């Protein structure tokens, strides 16, 4: 761009914005140096106070960023502090270099927009990336739809190949379990939708039941910027929020009931001892993503309670959200536990039969089946976590342990 500009006015505009970028870079660098030096000196504040205003015992020293080094942190305080300061300096330098480079590019773009010769070129450059993202989204949707169709076909095939009345009764029993789960999800979603619609209307209802001199302020559950007077258009905005929440809950219920149906089908086929591994491998990734989303959302709500919630109604509201997430995680992990239990039932049943009375050829076949079924089936989330009741307990313990540590750290 610098080499293509020919007129003096265009070059002056570009140089002016380059001067803005340079001043910004110098300012940010000076602020970073002051901050890093102040931060480094702040770590030695207890030592300085022990010299200036000594006490009967040395003041306790703390790190600004808590971390686990698996050593005695009081004994190795200065090596750990040196490591922390180096990490902070390197991180600060990286942030400043990246930020100043980004601001340089932004000021350059502003200059080119000022010259009115950059707009179309920028749009053309973003067009390919934008259509690439759209293409990736469409391809991903198509692949997932193919996977869902493939699983549907497999479930239909399993139902068609079952001939014995006992097998049909088993698979129908697990289908009824899936139906009960679906009804429970629908009722829970319906209660959630009613709660989200009713809570913002409480001030209006109280104004009718117990009126005050002034109307009570009305607030949305999920604040947003609509660029209009929200009190004047409160009910219109509330309708839009309710429709959005309804669509989200319907999507979540549809997805969850679909996966519950698949899991119950898997458990039924385990019970019949005719299940093959590919069905679970097809839906395991998507189910793992849902659990990870639930854990992430629960963590965000927990930190909202600590950092932002000061009113009782906000704490109660977030408490309901946290309870809903805990139930969501429990159901997901409980389904994983059901899968593990049913996969191990095959091996246990084989061990309990009178295999020693069977012919030698049958005993060899039984050994092959035992070797195949000795390893249970489970959902694998990145090789780090397997949904089960034990996993649910571990996740809850870790979350609340971090919550208590965060609360104590904020109070300090």
pLDDT, tens only, 20-72: 888 888 887 888 788 777 777 777 777 777 778 777 777 776 666 666 666 77
Is 49 within a domain? yes
Of residues 357 and 15, more confidently modeled: 15
- CA-wise closest residue to 64 among 80, 43, 95, 45: 43
- CA-wise closest residue to 102 among 25, 26, 170, 154: 25
Q: Which of 17-21, 188-192, 365-369 has the lowest mean pLDDT?
A: 365-369
Predicted local confidence at residue 403, as pLDDT: 61
Residues 263, 320 within the same domain = yes
Is 123 within a domain? no
pLDDT tens for residues 129-170? 666 767 776 776 676 677 777 778 888 888 888 877 877 888
Q: How far is CA 19 from CA 15, 103, 109, in A?
A: 6, 12, 14
pLDDT band for position 278 (cuts 50, 70, 90)? very low
Query: Residue 227 has what DSSP assignment?
Result: S
Predicted local confidence at residue 181, as pLDDT: 85
Residues 223, 309 within the same domain = yes
Instruction: Count Cβ neighbours within 10 Å for each residue of 371-396 and write b for 16 or more, e otherwise.
Output: eebeebbbbebeeebbbbeebbeebe
Q: How far is CA 354 from CA 350, 366, 370, 398, in A?
A: 9, 11, 14, 45
Euclidean distance between CA atoms 261 and 155, whole angstroms:
10
CA of residue 119 relative to chain centroid, distance: 37
Is 354 within a domain? yes
Is 138 within a domain? yes
Residues 166, 66 within the same domain = no
Is 36 within a domain? yes
Q: Which of 56, 81, 111 is the last residue of a domain?
A: 111
Tokens representing 246? Answer: 């309804």
Number of independent structural domains in the chain: 2
Residues 81, 155 within the same domain = no
Would you say 393 and 327 are in contact if contact means Cβ atoms under 8 Å apart?
Answer: no
Residues 143, 252 within the same domain = yes
Is the pLDDT at 284 greater than 60? The verdict is: no
Q: Which of 111, 137, 156 is the last residue of a domain?
A: 111
Residue 233: which residues within 8 A CB-CB, separation 6 or more?
226
Q: Which of 55-69, 79-93, 195-209, 247-261 has the highest mean pLDDT?
A: 195-209
Residues 282, 406 within the same domain = yes
Tokens representing 324? Answer: 């809903």
Q: How far is CA 227 from CA 224, 263, 310, in A?
A: 9, 46, 26
Predicted local confidence at residue 384, as pLDDT: 60
Q: What is the mean pLDDT of residues 361-365?
A: 66
Which domain covers residue 363, as residue numbers? 129-411
pLDDT tens for residues 81-105? 777 778 777 777 777 777 777 777 7
For the chain, the C-alpha Rg in angstroms (whole number) is 31
Residues 140, 219 within the same domain = yes
Residues 106, 163 within the same domain = no
Residues 265, 217 within the same domain = yes
Is 316 within a domain? yes
Residues 354, 275 within the same domain = yes
Is 116 within a domain? no
Residues 83, 194 within the same domain = no
- CA-wise closest residue to 175 among 256, 257, 250: 257
Cα angle, residue 268 at apex, residues 266 and 270 outer, rounded to 5°: 70
Length of the chain: 412
pLDDT band for position 279 (cuts 50, 70, 90)? very low
DSSP string of 126-173, one letter each residue: HHHHHHHHHHHHHHHHHHHHHHHHHHHHHHHHHHHH--SHHHHHHHHH
Predicted local confidence at residue 378, as pLDDT: 63
Q: How high is the mean pLDDT of the chain? A: 73
Is the pLDDT at 109 greater than 60? The verdict is: yes
Query: Residue 244 has what DSSP assignment?
Result: H
Residues 58, 154 within the same domain = no
Is 40 within a domain? yes
pLDDT band for position 298 (cuts 50, 70, 90)? low
């Amino acid at each position: 761009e610098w080499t293509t500009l020919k007129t003096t006015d265009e070059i002056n505009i570009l140089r002016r914005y380059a001067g803005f970028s340079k001043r910004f870079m110098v300012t940010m660098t000076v602020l970073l140096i002051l901050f890093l030096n102040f931060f480094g000196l702040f770590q030695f504040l207890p030592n300085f106070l022990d010299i200036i205003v000594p006490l009967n015992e040395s003041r306790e020293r703390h790190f600004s960023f808590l971390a686990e080094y698996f050593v005695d942190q009081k004994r190795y305080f200065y090596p750990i502090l040196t490591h922390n300061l180096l990490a902070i300096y390197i991180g600060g330098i990286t942030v400043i270099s990246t930020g100043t480079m980004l601001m340089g590019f932004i000021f350059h773009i502003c200059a080119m927009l000022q010259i009115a010769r950059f707009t179309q070129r920028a749009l053309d450059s973003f067009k390919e990336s934008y259509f690439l993202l759209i293409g990736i989204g469409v391809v991903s949707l198509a692949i997932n739809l193919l996977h869902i169709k493939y699983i549907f076909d497999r479930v239909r095939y399993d139902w068609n190949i079952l001939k014995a009345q006992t097998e049909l009764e088993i698979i129908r029993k697990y289908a009824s379990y899936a139906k009960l789960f679906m009804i429970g999800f629908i009722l829970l979603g319906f209660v959630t939708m009613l709660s989200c619609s009713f809570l913002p209307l409480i001030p209006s209802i109280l104004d009718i039941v117990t009126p005050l001199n002034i109307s009570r302020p009305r607030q949305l559950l999920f604040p947003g910027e609509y660029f209009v007077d929200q009190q004047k258009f409160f009910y219109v905005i509330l309708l839009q929020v309710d429709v959005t929440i309804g669509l989200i809950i319907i999507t979540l219920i549809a997805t969850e009931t679909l996966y519950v149906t698949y899991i119950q089908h898997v458990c039924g086929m385990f019970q019949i001892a005719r299940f093959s591994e590919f069905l679970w491998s097809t839906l395991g990734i998507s189910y793992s993503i849902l659990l990870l989303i639930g854990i992430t959302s629960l963590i965000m709500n927990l930190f909202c309670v600590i950092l932002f919630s000061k009113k009782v109604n906000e704490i109660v509201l977030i408490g309901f959200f946290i309870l809903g997430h805990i139930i969501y995680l429990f159901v997901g992990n409980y389904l994983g536990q059901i899968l593990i239990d049913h996969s191990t039932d095959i091996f246990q049943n084989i061990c309990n039969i009178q295999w020693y009375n069977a012919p030698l050829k049958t005993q060899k076949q039984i050994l092959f089946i035992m070797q195949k079924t000795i390893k249970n089936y489970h959902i694998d989330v990145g090789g780090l976590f397997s949904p089960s009741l034990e996993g649910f307990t571990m996740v809850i313990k870790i979350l609340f342990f971090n919550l208590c540590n965060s609360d104590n750290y904020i109070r300090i």
